[in-house]
Structure 1
Amino acid sequence: MPAKQTVVLISGANSGIGLAVANQLARDHGYHVIVGARNAAAGEKVAAALVADGYSASSVQLDVTSDESIEAAVQQITREFGVLDVLINNAGTLLDVSDHGMSMRELFNHTYNTNVTGAACLTEACIPLLRKAELPRVVFVSSRMGSISEASDKSKPYYSTDYKTYDASKAALNMVALNYNRILEDSGARVNAVCPGLVKTKLTGNHPMGSSTELGAQRIVEVATAGKGSPTGTFSDRGGNIPW
């Protein structure tokens, strides 16, 4: 791997939007992509396919709900690369509309453990590696449905959809993003929250109105590849900034 190649870790990168982001960053931007996947074999398969096509990739077992998994993943990245240029917190869950059989407390705990706590713990663990980068970038994959400003707007198509757990988790994730923007400010880092839009994935039940994963990855990739002086501390989608 070239010495100055940009190294990016993507959580939940073995499928859906994360996979599309991994493909675009490796194929279109020449990044070394570290495929973070809870299922190690699934991550290895994605990385192997990229390498077979002549791109730079590797994988790491990563379950953001496990401190032990996060620690092991960061140790592996430290040994192999010694630096992390870009972190994309993509792993997420949506349980509100599924037949999960959970109590309300269990539903909130499970959702927050992945969408909020997991992203925060992974980012915190990666800070030493990010600080070694010339231009650290952190992307939190959020959702417009977490916009407090839009939550009371009855004209929004999702206003009547009961996604309270998911919505609350994404609003909380936005606050996590703003805090890490503050924490990493002295390093010149660019830390942003991005909404990929409604995308046809397993998480959304392959919603018929959803866009392709390639289109969903577009804004994430733009922010992950932005240069010095680019916006930081923002919340946006393909159409521009979203009100917090």
Structure 2
Amino acid sequence: MTDSPITLISGGNAGLGLATAKRLTKEHNHHVIIGSRNAEAGAEVAAELQAEGHSASTVQLDLESDASIAAAAKTIEEKFGRLDALINNAGVLLDTTDPPLPIRTLYTRTFSVNVFGTACLTEAVEPLLRKSSNPVIVFVSSRMGSLVLSTDSSTLWYKIDYTAYDASKAAVAMLAINWNRRLEDIGARVNVVCPGLVKTNLAGGVGAVQYGVEPYEGAKRVVELATLGKDGPTKTWSATDGDIPW
């Protein structure tokens, strides 16, 4: 058990998730639980943070496996008895694969991780969030899921043709709205964040290497919303440069 806030980050072993974990441990004294599909990769990250004097552990977490999700939730319950923050970070962008995936495969695989897996994980740890005195959920999303921006022909987001990814991120916004409603009774803060274009493997297909920010910078708004106090905002969608329309 620990008095520090306990935060689970899906996809926490690389990219934006790893940067978020580092900022939370080093700047906010959170105990971060690295959710990693590859157990060894998660263990390496946790060991690195521990060696630097920070509080971290790991769980094997595959969003396409109900057994993995259930085992991760059980491990957190047994070790900590609660969860203070859930950062739904893990996701895939498959619209740019070469050769292109068949349309049904593209949508099935994209939604399996980005929507179905995210919903299953949130459902599994909801009882642990209810045991927190300051529960927070952050859904990492993208402006490309905004219905307002995607229907405005003057915006960049209108022109980018990532149909499966866009649709999945619009669905993630609805997940956030629903969990905000479900957890209203305990005063949880549930928000959506767009980290912007970040230099990660996920975003490589949209010019991230040339135009994106470093993951540590991209994690800024995620960390801000993961560390909200009880009087913080809820049911918002934002980036570092301001609010995003639904």
What CA distance in whole angstroms lies between the structure 1 residues aligned with 2:193 and 2:81? 27
* Kept after mapping to 1: 8 A contact 2:83/2:132: yes
* Kept after mapping to 1: 8 A contact 2:93/2:203: yes
State the partner residue of 1:32: 31
| SS at structure 2 position matched to 1:150 | helix
State the partner residue of 1:73: 72
Deviation for aligned residue 1:101: 4.6
Instruction: Give the counterpart letter for 1:126 in structure 2.
Output: V
State the partner residue of 1:161: 160
Count matched residues: 243
State the partner residue of 1:41: 40
* Kept after mapping to 1: 8 A contact 2:194/2:237: yes
Instruction: Give the counterpart letter for 1:77 in structure 2.
Output: I
State the partner residue of 2:178: 179
- What TM-score do the two structures reach when normalised by structure 2? 0.96
Larger deviation, residues 97-106 vs 48-57: 97-106
* Kept after mapping to 1: 8 A contact 2:129/2:135: yes
Deviation for aligned residue 1:54: 0.3
Q: Is the counterpart of residue 190 in structure 1 residue 189 in structure 2?
A: yes
| SS at structure 1 position matched to 2:76 | helix
Question: Cα RMSD between the aligned structures?
Answer: 1.0
* Kept after mapping to 1: 8 A contact 2:150/2:157: no
Residue of structure 2 aligned with 1:218, choices 208, 220, 235? 220
Runs of 4+ in 1 over 3 A off after TM superposition: none
Deviation for aligned residue 1:228: 0.9
State the partner residue of 1:83: 82
What CA distance in whole angstroms lies between the structure 2 residues aligned with 1:161 and 1:130? 36
Residue of structure 2 aligned with 1:242, choices 231, 239, 244? 244
Deviation for aligned residue 1:103: 1.2
Deviation for aligned residue 1:240: 1.5
Deviations 1:152-200 (A, max 9, x none): 2222224322101100000000000000000001011000010000111
What CA distance in whole angstroms lies between the structure 1 residues aligned with 2:241 and 2:101? 36
What CA distance in whole angstroms lies between the structure 1 residues aligned with 2:153 and 2:199? 24
Deviation for aligned residue 1:241: 1.1
The structure carrying a bigger helix percent of its residues is 2
Residue of structure 2 aligned with 1:229, choices 222, 228, 231? 231
Instruction: Give the counterpart letter for 1:123 in structure 2.
Output: T
Deviation for aligned residue 1:100: 5.1
What CA distance in whole angstroms lies between the structure 2 residues aligned with 1:232 and 1:100? 40
State the partner residue of 2:121: 122
Q: 1:100-115 to 2 correspondence within 5 Å? A: 101-115=100-114
State the partner residue of 1:14: 13
Instruction: Give the counterpart letter for 2:214 in structure 1.
Output: S
Instruction: Give the counterpart letter for 2:192 in structure 1.
Output: A
Larger deviation, residues 153-162 vs 73-82: 153-162
State the partner residue of 1:63: 62
Instruction: Give the counterpart letter for 1:24 in structure 2.
Output: R
Unaligned 5+ runs, structure 1: none
What CA distance in whole angstroms lies between the structure 2 residues aligned with 1:148 and 1:233? 16
| SS at structure 1 position matched to 2:118 | helix
Q: Is the counterpart of residue 50 in structure 1 residue 49 in structure 2?
A: yes
Q: Share of identical aligned residues, percent?
A: 56
What CA distance in whole angstroms lies between the structure 1 residues aligned with 2:101 and 2:148? 29
| SS at structure 1 position matched to 2:124 | helix
State the partner residue of 2:4: 5
Unaligned 5+ runs, structure 2: none
Deviation for aligned residue 1:65: 1.1
What CA distance in whole angstroms lies between the structure 2 residues aligned with 1:142 and 1:100? 25
What CA distance in whole angstroms lies between the structure 2 residues aligned with 1:88 and 1:100? 32
